[in-house]
């Protein structure tokens, strides 16, 4: 039961990725429903964790922002330098899938849809993912009595398991996902702050969202 505040929000995000496309909702309705569900889960289930001001205190604003920007550059860099990079069979295959846009064309010119999709990526996803990956799993691997394990506790086993699983979550982008996972894990070791990780992850996703919209690279969404 102690794990639920950390695990359930991430589970809700994964479930919505599967369920919402099957509902064939209009783009605006889909974004509104996604945010409503995740907000409710965070407010109800994750409240005990979210109220911990010590864990959420940001210790390095500048470092977290810079790390977030750097991870975004790593994310888009390979395909910018080598067009079609992620079309290689090492990345696009039956196991990992292929890089494809999930945003329908009808939503790409809708300011409300784009705003909500950016809010979803930059605020809610980082909260749900960092609660799961680095606030819970990274400590739970060290000890199932994870609440006694301080944030940012070093364990090579936990570090690499989380980095690899984080990479696998991103499918065709597993290589840059692995790099991001390593950097985020390292930043947790450095800052020992969930707030810093959410900020860094949020900056990454905000920068990536801006790139998607401005460059028309919808496959990153």
Work out the number of other CB atoms within 10 angstroms of the CB of residue 34. 21
The C-alpha angle 107, 109, 112, rounded to 5 degrees, equals 70
- What pLDDT does 56 receive? 87
Tens place of pLDDT per residue across the chain (221 aa): 899 999 999 999 999 999 999 999 999 999 999 999 999 999 999 998 988 877 889 999 999 999 999 999 999 999 999 999 999 999 999 999 999 888 899 999 999 999 999 999 999 999 999 999 999 999 999 999 999 999 999 999 999 999 999 999 999 999 999 999 999 999 999 999 999 999 999 999 999 999 999 999 999 99
| CA within 13 Å, CB half, 37 | 19
Question: In whole angstroms, what separates CA 96 from the centre of its chain?
Answer: 18
Q: Ramachandran region of residue 97, left (φ > 0), alpha (ψ -120 to 50) or beta?
A: left
């Amino acid at each position: 039961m102690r794990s639920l505040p950390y695990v359930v929000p991430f589970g809700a995000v994964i479930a919505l990725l599967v369920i919402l496309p099957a509902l064939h909702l209009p783009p605006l309705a889909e974004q509104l429903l996604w945010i409503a569900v995740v907000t409710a889960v965070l407010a109800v289930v994750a409240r005990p964790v979210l109220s911990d001001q010590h864990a959420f205190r940001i210790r390095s604003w500048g470092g977290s922002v810079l790390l977030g920007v750097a991870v975004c550059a790593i994310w888009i860099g390979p395909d910018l330098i080598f067009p079609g990079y992620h079309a290689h069979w090492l990345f696009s295959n039956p196991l990992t899938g292929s890089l494809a846009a999930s945003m329908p064309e009808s939503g790409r010119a809708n300011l409300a849809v784009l705003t909500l999709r950016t809010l979803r990526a930059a605020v809610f996803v980082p909260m749900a993912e960092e609660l799961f990956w680095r606030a819970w799993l990274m400590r739970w691997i060290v000890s199932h009595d994870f609440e006694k394990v301080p944030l940012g506790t070093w364990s090579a086993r936990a570090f690499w398991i989380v980095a690899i699983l984080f990479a696998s979550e991103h499918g065709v982008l597993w290589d840059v996902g692995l790099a991001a996972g390593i950097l985020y894990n390292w930043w947790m070791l450095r800052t020992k702050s969930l707030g810093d990780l959410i900020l860094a992850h949020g900056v990454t996703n905000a920068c990536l969202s801006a790139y998607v919209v401005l460059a028309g690279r919808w496959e990153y969404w």
